[in-house]
């Protein structure tokens, strides 16, 4: 154990420095709703299960989950986004306030519908529930011109006082390439590292320091199939780094771990930490980019930040539902195992 602690001394110092860092998050704020039901019987009307309602909870998802993860890691986080004047929006703001996360950068608008993803979880009284269906509620259109202007102004103001800017783009209009370009129109954030998690349009962003797509997203944006071909994966990663002029790229690969691409250095293959029999991957990408961003803000290089993101990802996928990793959990994980890389 003492040997592991010594090996991880540098990583521990980075994690311990999280409370000294500030990160602005420009993101699509999502309410993740979980409705739990106990399986009662099969309906006579159709071959479907009838569930007895047992519980309901709404937790931060999407960009809001990245914000929550940063807060639990001890980082001072400044969120910028939009919610509607509805129950999910109010519950998101309440959750932020409960964590003492400032909400002055979150715009509340009656014409906007808070993005809500409702997961129906079915199970028996003494068994783990299983997600059986998901219902998404989305705004008919993105934030209007007034809201976009407010998002730009808030992001610019907060980023100037931050050690990093995290952009969480789920495609709902609050974290677009155009908005980020507008944030940069006036000087002040030129030296602030910008990390990006974008579902479908990563290559449309410019001025990004680091990005954290998963393998499926890489395949989609490049129109390729990676499979188990290491050389094809490396070529894809190097292509993205070159096209976007990134300092760092992190490609997550589920049970196969993740691959880090430091600019002008060889790719680093990092196997998944812990068991590959995961409980739930919901929101794991938010945990990865939150930890990766916090580490970069605290002075980590690409490999160090990637290892910490891998530890955090290994912890959060063992939790059910949309979850976070705390600073203490990350420190405990560092005490238990040294980082590992796979040779190629």
Instruction: Give the rounded percent of residues in the chain with a pLDDT score beyond 90.
Output: 79
Q: Return the CATH number at 245.
A: 3.40.1190.20
Asked if the structure places residue 82 within a domain, the reply is yes
Asked if the structure places residue 129 within a domain, the reply is no
Token duo for residue 327? 């600073």
Q: What is the pLDDT of residues 297-322, one digit of tens each?
A: 999 999 999 999 999 998 888 777 67
Boundaries of domain holding 8: 2-30+61-113+141-336
Q: What is the pLDDT of residues 48-73, one digit of tens each?
A: 989 999 999 999 999 999 999 999 99
The backbone torsions φ and ψ at residue 36, rounded to the nearest 5 degrees and listed phi first, read -105, 135
Summary mean pLDDT of the chain: 92
CB atoms within 10 A of CB 337: 14
- Average pLDDT in the 285-292 region? 94
- The model's pTM: 0.93
Asked if the structure places residue 154 within a domain, the reply is yes
Asked if the structure places residue 121 within a domain, the reply is no
Asked if the structure places residue 53 within a domain, the reply is no
Q: What is the pLDDT of residues 323-333, one digit of tens each?
A: 889 999 999 99
Asked if the structure places residue 290 within a domain, the reply is yes
E strands present in 76-204: 76-84, 106-109, 115-123, 130-137, 164-169, 194-198
Write out the H or E segment, with its range, that includes residue 53.
Answer: strand 49-62
Asked if the structure places residue 22 within a domain, the reply is yes
> What are the catalytic residues?
286
Give 3's pLDDT tier (boundaries 50, 70, 90): low
């Amino acid at each position: 154990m003492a040997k592991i602690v010594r090996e991880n001394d540098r990583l521990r110092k980075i994690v311990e420095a999280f409370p000294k860092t500030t990160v602005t998050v420009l993101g699509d704020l999502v309410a993740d709703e979980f409705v739990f039901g106990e399986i009662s019987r099969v309906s006579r009307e159709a071959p479907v299960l009838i569930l007895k309602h047992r519980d309901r909870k709404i937790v931060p998802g999407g960009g809001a989950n990245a914000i929550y993860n940063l807060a639990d890691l001890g980082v001072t986080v400044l969120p910028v986004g939009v919610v509607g004047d509805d129950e999910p929006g109010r519950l998101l703001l309440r959750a932020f306030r409960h964590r003492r996360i400032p909400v002055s950068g979150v715009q509340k608008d009656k014409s906007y519908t808070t993005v809500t993803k409702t997961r129906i979880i079915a199970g028996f009284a003494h068994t783990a529930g299983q997600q059986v269906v998901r219902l998404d509620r989305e705004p008919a259109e993105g934030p209007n011109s007034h809201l976009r202007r407010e998002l730009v102004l808030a992001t610019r103001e907060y980023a100037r006082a931050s050690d990093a800017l995290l952009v969480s783009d789920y495609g709902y209009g609050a974290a677009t390439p155009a908005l980020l370009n507008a944030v940069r129109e006036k000087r002040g954030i030129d030296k602030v590292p910008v990390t990006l998690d974008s579902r479908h349009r990563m290559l449309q962003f410019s001025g990004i320091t680091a990005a954290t797509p998963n393998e499926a997203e890489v395949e989609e944006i490049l129109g390729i199939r990676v499979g188990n071909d290491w050389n094809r994966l490396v070529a894809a990663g190097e292509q993205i780094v070159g096209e976007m002029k990134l300092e760092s790229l992190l490609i997550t690969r589920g049970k196969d771990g993740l691959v880090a691409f430091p600019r002008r250095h060889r790719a680093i293959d990092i196997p998944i930490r812990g068991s590959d029999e995961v409980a739930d991957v919901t929101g794991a990408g938010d945990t990865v980019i939150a930890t990766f961003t916090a580490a970069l803000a605290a002075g980590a290089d690409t490999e160090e930040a990637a290892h910490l993101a891998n530890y955090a990802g290994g912890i959060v996928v063992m939790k059910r539902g949309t979850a976070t990793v705390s600073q203490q959990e990350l420190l405990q994980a560092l005490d238990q195992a040294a980082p590992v890389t796979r040779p190629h």
